[in-house]
A and B are shown apart, each in its own frame.
Chain A
Amino acid sequence: MTATAGNLAIEASNLVKVFGATRAVNGVDLTVPSGGVYGFLGPNGAGKTTTIRMLATLLRPDGGHARVLGHDIVREADTVRGLVSLTGQFASVDEELTGLENLVLLGRLYGYSWAQAKRRTNDLLGAFGLADAADRLVKHYSGGMRRRLDIAASIVVTPELMFLDEPTTGLDPRSRNQVWDIVRALVAGGTTVLLTTQYLDEADQLADRMAVIDHGAIIVEGTPSELKAAVGSGTLHVRVHDPAQRDEAERLLIESLRVPVHREADPAALSARVADPARVAHALGELSHAGVDVSHFALGQPSLDEVFLALTGHPAETYGAGETAEESAA
């Protein structure tokens, strides 16, 4: 790896966790350098949450070992707990308390005096735009406010390493942008962030490096651009005006893109995974040159599904919903 041994936030080797008959995590190796955002990508039930729950010392691994910030997650669990924080998939704040009480409570549990805890709470509420809602019960907060409070709760003591488990799932675009801003500010402050997500564009926006997990094991690791290079830059969708011209269009696209072209169920539509976006303009030019009327075209970013298809040969949706339920119950 690029980082030296003394400078690693996480080193995990062959981590295993078994729930009954399911090997939720099946030999995960992970090396995360200090600083920056490390994306941890995978569909529901792939083992993301279980892995980070082990790294955050909430679960004891059934096999393998890991060091977090140089400390063993089993033997030195207490030291690790003092240096990391975890924000789960579901805002883990107390709904029956006010925002202020939630943070003061955590401040006290981290060892601040009452006065220090109150001061820290006021600073945090101000920074997260929650000062006006300080004395309101959290059950009356919106989803975005709850998520912000949850993240504020995770930095009552600024952690060296922060696990963010799907922090934007279920948020509207504006709240999502706010969470992204917070993540960037965290990293600028020197915290290492391990971010799990189902969205490729989120990892792309934030992560310096990322790993893709599938069936409890890491299948690929690298920078976002390395990953995308492996997948191609996206999919071109073309819809011709007259379905009768589709064969002609298909021939022209294969010729100019030099990739396989897929015939969609729509009799006028074609799609192709392209490696080089520059060729797309050329291909479209060829179509108009040959008198093929194009009613619609789009060049999409590769989706997580396409990443999976390219890397594993099967789409992400084939995973059962069973493990999602298990992870939420955990």
Chain B
Amino acid sequence: MTTTETRPVAEGDLRSVLASRNRPARPSALSASLTFGWRALLKIKHVPEQLFDVTVFPVLFLLMFTYLFGGALAGSTSEYLQWVLPGILVMTVVMITLYTGVALNTDITKGVFDRFKSLPVWRPAPLAGALLGDAVRYTLASTMVIVLGLVLGFRPENGAGGVLLAVVLLLVFCYSLSWLWTLLGLLLRTPNSVMGVSMMVMFPGTFLSNIFVDPQTMPGWLRAFVDVNPVSHLVTAIRGLMHGGVTTGQIVSVLMASAVMVLLFAPITMYLYRNRK
């Protein structure tokens, strides 16, 4: 089918390629991480369909929830939009963190990861580089939600500065959370099982929160869960940052939750990373 297939290996060229015994110096940790980041960007370039989740998904959610439930839940759709947009923003970006684990597991099952591990580079570089690709997806998703929101009539009282701070806080939380999916990516056998288990955590984690409604009307046992759910704390802080009224305590509680996730999952992840068979 292809002409390249029939061409024999060029013996002379091969000899001269092998004759080069040039051994460059080991790259710095930063350079290696940025190279892995370049790889993540190339993947987005070659498979732009994977951005479907971060573009179409949030648009659908925002439109559906605002116009379907807005009138019933908040009296008017425009009032509900002010309430629900920070929540949809959190849900969208938190949801797409799980692709970190799926992508890592795909690399492992395909054997690409073995090659990376056998390189003389800073060991966490592949994980650090993946975060760069994540940053692009998170930023794109956040931009989609906020721009569409503004078009539909979302008016954050704290202006652009508040929105920006809210997105930064969201990214801190999501990076911390992505250690959990990285852990699952190393632990489970197939990309599908990573997806399945992550979804099982993610659905209750996002829906059983204050994203869509005020927990006041919920039964006590459910409220107890919603009140300790770190996603609720994140949404509260982000609403506060966008509309005003955020307290230091709210921000600290999000940062604490992030720190706990990193301290809990990162050591286990790095252990699995080094010792996986």
Q: What is A's interface to B at a CB cutoff of 8 Å?
A: 19, 50, 53, 56-60, 78, 81-82, 84-86, 88-98, 101, 105-106, 108-112, 116, 120, 123-124, 126-133, 137, 142, 144-145, 148, 153, 155, 157-158, 178, 181-182, 185-186, 188-189, 191, 329-330
Contacts and interface: CB of A to CB of B under 8 A. Distances in A.
A260 to B, nearest CB: 44
Given A95-B110, A108-B35, A126 B10 contact: yes
Interface string B131-156: 00000000000000000000000000
Given A129-B4, A137-B46, A111 B24 contact: yes
Interface stretch (B12-20, B65-73, B161-169, B203-211): B12-20
B156 to A, nearest CB: 38
Contacts of A120: 20
B223 interface: no
Nearest to A124: B17
Interface of B: 1-5, 7-11, 13-27, 31-32, 35-36, 38-39, 42-43, 46-47, 107, 110-121, 125, 189, 274-275, 277
15 contacts: A82-B26, A86-B114, A90-B111, A93-B115, A109-B36, A109-B119, A109-B121, A110-B119, A111-B26, A111-B27, A123-B13, A123-B17, A127-B10, A127-B14, A142-B2
Given A128-B14, A185-B18, A93 B8 contact: no
A106 to B, nearest CB: 7
A116 B24 contact: yes
A109 B4 contact: no
A120 B23 CA distance: 12
B43 A97 contact: yes
Nearest to A126: B13
Nearest to B118: A86
A189 B95 CA distance: 51
Contacts of A157: 22-24
A253 B90 CA distance: 83
A308 B117 CA distance: 34
A93 B116 CA distance: 10
A60 B7 CA distance: 41
A193 to B, nearest CB: 12
Contacts of B20: 120, 123, 158
Nearest to A133: B4
A92 B115 contact: yes
Majority secondary structure, B binding face: helix
Contacts of A108: 27, 31, 35, 38
A191 B19 CA distance: 10
A306 B187 CA distance: 40
A262 to B, nearest CB: 42
A129 B8 contact: yes
A158 B18 contact: yes
B19 to A, nearest CB: 6
A92 B114 contact: yes
Contact of A110 (B13, B24, B42): B24
B192 to A, nearest CB: 14
Contacts of B38: 105, 108
B146 to A, nearest CB: 30
Contact of A191 (B4, B16, B18): B18
Given A108-B31, A108-B35, A329-B189, A144 B119 contact: no
Contact of A178 (B9, B24, B31): B9
A116 B114 CA distance: 24
A114 B112 CA distance: 21
Among B4, B39, B277, the most chain A Cβ lie within 10 Å of the Cβ of B4
Nearest to A108: B35
A109 B27 contact: yes
Given A105-B39, A185-B14, A178 B8 contact: yes
Given A181-B9, A188-B15, 6 more contacts: A82-B26, A94-B112, A95-B110, A123-B17, A127-B13, A181-B8
A107 to B, nearest CB: 9
B19 A132 contact: no
Nearest to B107: A94
Contacts of A98: 46
Nearest to B47: A96
Nearest to A154: B115
Nearest to A86: B118
